[in-house]
Chains A and B, each alone.
Chain A
Amino acid sequence: MSQFELTDKVAIVTGGGGTSHGIGRCIAMTFAQAGAKIVVVGRHEESLNKVVEEINSAGGEAVAIVADITDPAQVDGMVTKAMAAFGQINILVNSAGGSTFGNPEDLSPAEWNDCISLNLNGTCLCCAAVAKEMIRQGGGKIVNIGSSSGIKGEEHAAHFAAAKAAVINLTRSLAISWAIHSINVNCVSPGSVEVPDHGIPDMPDDEYSKRQKLQSADAGSLGLPGTPQDVANAALYFASPGSDIMTGENLVVRGSEWASAYA
């Protein structure tokens, strides 16, 4: 299975502190198991340290860097610190993101801006800052985490859906721009993801029960929400040599949930 290994690679995983869906945390742990050295990035030092500790105690190698990815200076600092820690950056996973929920007509300008800033601007800042280093090094792999909301729209999270649609399109543009530098840029777009025993964090009850109704009773496990591991597996595929010729693509990981979007 060497085509899916990350031996001797260095991966930055933003949103790796497991603050919301636990996707970033799961990606960090999975990549460590696949052989990569991990730089876990997030705002909350305590939760970052927990992930680092888990990776290190399982025989992996990880460091935590506290950074707010919406702040260009902190993003530059992240790259400098990662280089100081491991001397190279081969993989970037932009997993930091999140959303509030509400009716679009009730969204405040601040809520809209915060959401675009975190999900789109933060991703773009990290891509640009890390790509400069990757260009110098002769290549790399960038995996953005989009969302199926960015394709199908989202009734109670228009700002999030718009930002994620932009991330999917940004992926394509960066892939074109950086192909000559041997940087693959791809996107993984999860549908509903549930953290075992935690449901979908921050989601209002009515939204949650509506989603559950959409999950067809006879659809088996493909009809259920995905897990952070499902997303991490796809991210690993795009970070590994197994996808060396793929760039600009968006892989949607949502079981048969898509069916409800077209019904």
Chain B
Amino acid sequence: MSAEAKTDARTAAVRFRDPQIEMAHGAGGKASRRLVEGLFAPLLFGSLRSPLNDAAHVSINGSHLAVTTDSFVVKPLMFPGGSIGELAINGTVNDLAVSGAMAEFMVVTFVLEAGLPTEILQTQIQAMADAAQKAGVRIVGGDTKVVEHGKADGMYISTTGIGELLRGVEIDPNSVRCGDAILLSGPIGDHGITILLARGELDLESDLRSDTRSVLPLVEAVVAAAGPGIRWMRDPTRGGVATSLNELARDCGKGIVLFEDEIPLHDGVRGACELLGLDPLHIANEGQFLAVVSPDLADAALQALRNASGGAEARIVGEVREQPAGAVLVTTLYGGSRIVDMLVGDPLPRIC
């Protein structure tokens, strides 16, 4: 278990000095990390801290468990390919899955806005029930609060999940070695761009759908095929692939090199990103995961993913190298390269 997570010098140095909370503190990038490492972790986690993992690993009387929590604030509540209810289940199932655990039980908190039509609530509860059944997790409790009209975008949902650790896999960024392969389960950016377009502020249309799904079956497939070779996994939600891999690079002190031409991308995502000046590597996903796998088992892991349902577009998208230490470098086939940093603030479209 990771209860004895080390106090990293770089982590200890972070201080939260920002005078007020900005939207950026919730966007999953640098500001979020500063808030968690500089304010929450020192006061709340004490010496037991590994706050930036997707889930905490704990032991109770010899049983090894993983526990995680997540809140869902999304506008609009329903969008092509999914809804807030599905996200609330899948998000927590996925955080547990990429920590090497299978979600068993979940408790749910609803913050509802006065005036929310029952029909909408009912649709979302049904969506949660369906997603929970599909993911094989049981909802065993919950809480409801209602706030004044105009305060909660209809509804917010928070879910907390607990699960048993899968056997035969251990996730630890410090075990990452040079030469390890970076696996990606499928095309990126579908969720973030779908939400951006669904808000209707841009006169852009596409047939994109959110990728929200439980990644547990894919994780199980890859663990079964290459468990001992898996060093690290993460679902690249807010902040996208770039932010997840930058966190890994910082945690393991190695360089992550991505091969741009290998990164799977739907045309709709590519087009929207080109138009708006966004980098797909910074866009949120809700149904993909990244895995770092030792070179000897990388092909087995890739084949297992591709053979699993929903994993046909999986690719090896990069590898771990010595340099650039602590950073992510994207290389192209023609020999150009660039550093890709964590997302800074919310992704803002570039117009002029």
A and B found bound together: no
